[in-house]
Amino acid sequence: MPADAPSPGVDLPAAPATAAELARIAADRATGQLAPPAPARLHDVVPAPEQVRPDPAGDFTLSPDAAIRVSAAARDVAGQLADWLRPATGFPLPVTDSAGPGPDGPLTLTLSSIAAPPAGSPAPAPPTDRTSAAGAAGGDVALGDEGYRLDVTATGVRITADTPAGLFHGAQTLRQLLPAAIESATPVAERWAVPGGTIVDRPRFAYRGAMLDVARHFFGVDDVLRVVDHLARYKLNHLHLHLTDDQGWRIAVDSWPRLAEVGGVTGVGGGPGGWYTPDDYRRIVAYAARRHVTVVPEIDLPGHTNAALVAYPELAPGKTAPPPYTGTDVGFSYVDPTDERTYAFVADVFGELAALTPGPWLHLGGDEAFKVPAERYRAFVERAQALVAATGKTVVGWHQLAPAAHVDGRVLQWWGTNGDDPGTADAVRRGARLILSPGNHAYLDMKYAPDTPIGHDWAGLVDVRRAYDWDPGTHVHGVPVEAVLGVEAPLWTESVTTRAEIEFMMFPRLPAVAELGWSPRSTHDWAGFRERLAGHGPRWATAGITFHPSPEIPWPHSATAGIPRQPAHGQTDTVA
């Protein structure tokens, strides 16, 4: 089979009754049909690391008496690593202080926050340079805020980084280098081998995120925490929560209590809705922070505000409450830009949100306010930007904010489908930075294929190749890579109602976008990516993560006959 031919994938049900059923069946079939995975190779990591130097003589096997030895600053990451490894191995994996007495034997995992090569180990040869001049200089690179170095030798594994975030990313890489059975929640008899060699790794972009729309359909705290775990696996470091929209207001605001109490009880399709209390929100923020993920809360203004108007008719242009909205149209609602009460509301809401949010960003929306004339819109968002800036946070907004005056640090989230966008390029010239979320590549709510049972197709179909094959550094004409803060994959939830459906739309596209955000451009290679990604299917299946068994990916499988398939991107659906 040529490298790019569609692979016989995992069986899909002929006619799924519901999307939830499809997701469940996909997960079951994936578990049943995936062949025992091949051992991980050092190059198999997603997102692709900056430098990889395999050393077959350095393979390491984790044994029952292994301990994780750490410096004080690395304790929390070590605790999380132990939590990932204990269930499947059944090993105790004590976390011990590297400064104190204790075993320093061959079966020790060491996390250290000091960027130095392992004591007593031979100086490693320069890693293969897959990317940059840094590698050619001998792998002696500054690891920065999020980078790490992973050394696997026959006698141990060491992760070094300058920061806990770097150690955490290194620990996630180590997790991927163990057999897929490491994802099991119960002990498995397995040889816990890690391929030998050295990885030196740093992100290409500082901002790597995903968005969850909790407004169209509400998702409880536990669902959000699980999404944080998904992000963290792939080194994404921002979770954007779309907290408000026409169909529901999802965050309690003390000074305007009806927003949640009245505006929060609806959702698309007439569901019960829901909202986060300040403690719920703090729980999400704290859980994310421990995984080095920053929460970016969005209050969408001036449009997408029907739920707020139901709660507070004084904010409505006609001063009468509209009926609650549970459909999926956009662009009809807006807060009254001519009333001073509206600006008090904006200041109060962002003031409370800023106080709850340790991260630097507040997202003020700005999209699809079709009923507000251009000049009024501009004046409104300029005041709203100033009110956000007055909280001490940095303004983020959809790229419709582009015509407004620049405020210090302003970031625009670009969701266009055509990179020819002079208005956005002009805003960048005036100082804005961009988060890239092109609808026809990064939108996780687009269907994979015509028969995907949930999702939209207004931006086209987004299969895995389309999610992967674009370059955030050159995507918008006239925007230099230096102005690109990073990438984000948004998941709008008009048609997404369950945790399984969230995962079905995220996997396997989320890792594709994650790789664009993290990996150096020189590693970009669809043929290699689909091979590396294939090995993650058994991991997700073992972890109970629902995924779309995309026919573009050569999943390990045992059954090859009689499997209905969809055409891969640019391919026919015949088997070579």
Q: Are 197 and 54 in contact (CB under 8 A)?
A: yes
Q: Which two three-digit tokens encode residue 519?
A: 């990996």
Strands annotated E in 117-268: 148-153, 156-160, 193-194, 197-201, 207-213, 238-242, 244-245, 248-249
- In the window 531-550, what residues touch ligand TNX (CB under 6 A)? none
Q: Among the options 190, 314, 368, 531, which is catalytic?
A: 368
Pairing of strands 197-201, 60-61: unpaired
Q: Which is nearer to ligand TNX, 11 or 445 (CB)?
A: 445
Whether the Cβ atoms of residue 98 and residue 145 lie closer than 8 Å to each other: no
Return the number of the residue (75 or 456) whose C-beta is nearest ligand TNX.
456
d(C-alpha 302, C-alpha 370), whole Å: 10
Is 368 a known active-site residue?
yes
| Closest approach of ligand TNX to the CB of residue 91, in Å | 45
Q: Are 530 and 553 in contact (CB under 8 A)?
A: yes
Closest CB to ligand TNX among residues 415, 555: 415
Q: How many residues bind ligand TNX (CB under 6 A)?
A: 10
Q: What's the closest the beta carbon of residue 400 comes to ligand TNX, in angstroms?
A: 8
DSSP string, 392-428: TPEEEEEGGGTTSPP-TT-EEEE--S-S--HHHHHHH
Closer Cβ to ligand TNX, 438 or 511, answer by number: 438
Instruction: Give me the least distance between CB of 300 and ligand TNX, in Å please.
Output: 8
Binding test (CB under 6 A) with ligand TNX, winner from 368, 382, 469, 531: 368
To ligand TNX, the closest distance from the beta carbon of 227 in angstroms equals: 17
Report the distance separating Cα 67 and Cα 253, nearest Å.
46
**Cis omega before residue 453 (within 30°)?**
no
In angstroms, what is the minimal distance from the CB of 491 to ligand TNX? Answer: 9
Binding residue for ligand TNX, selected from 456, 469, 526, 559, defined by CB under 6 A: 456
Binding mask 403-442 for ligand TNX (x = CB under 6 A): ------------x---------------------------
HEC readout, 248-267: EECECCCCCCHHHHCCCCCC
Strand partners, 61: 193
Of residues 50, 146, 336, 445, which one binds ligand TNX by CB under 6 A? 445
Residue 398 binds to ligand TNX (criterion: CB under 6 A): yes
Among 146, 367, 421, 503, binds ligand TNX (CB under 6 A): 367
Residue with Cβ nearer ligand TNX (287 or 492): 492
Shortest distance in whole angstroms from residue 16 CB to ligand TNX: 22
CB of 462 to ligand TNX, least distance (A): 11
Partners of residue 512 on adjacent β-strands:
none
CB of 41 to ligand TNX, least distance (A): 37
110-139: contacts with ligand TNX (CB under 6 A): none
What's the CA gap between 467 and 513, in Å, rounded? 6
Q: Which of 216/530 has CB closer to ligand TNX?
A: 216
CB 369, CB 407: distance < 8 Å: no
**Dist CA 364 CA 375 (whole Å):** 18
Of the pair 350, 398, the CB lying nearest ligand TNX is at: 398
DSSP 60-71: EE--TT-EEEE-
431 half-sphere exposure, CB direction, 13 A CA radius: 9
Euclidean distance between CA atoms 560 and 565, whole angstroms: 11
Interface pick for ligand TNX out of 219, 492, 529, 547 (rule CB under 6 A): 492
Task: Considering only residues 301 through 340, tell me which ones interact with ligand TNX, judged by CB under 6 A.
Answer: 330
Per-residue b/e over 230-265, b at no fewer than 16 CB within 10 Å? bbbbbbbbbbbbbbbbbbbbbbbbeebeebbebbbb
| Closer residue to ligand TNX (CB): 151 or 298 | 298
Residues that bind ligand TNX (CB under 6 A): 330, 367-368, 398, 415, 443, 445, 456, 492, 494
Tell me the catalytic residues.
368
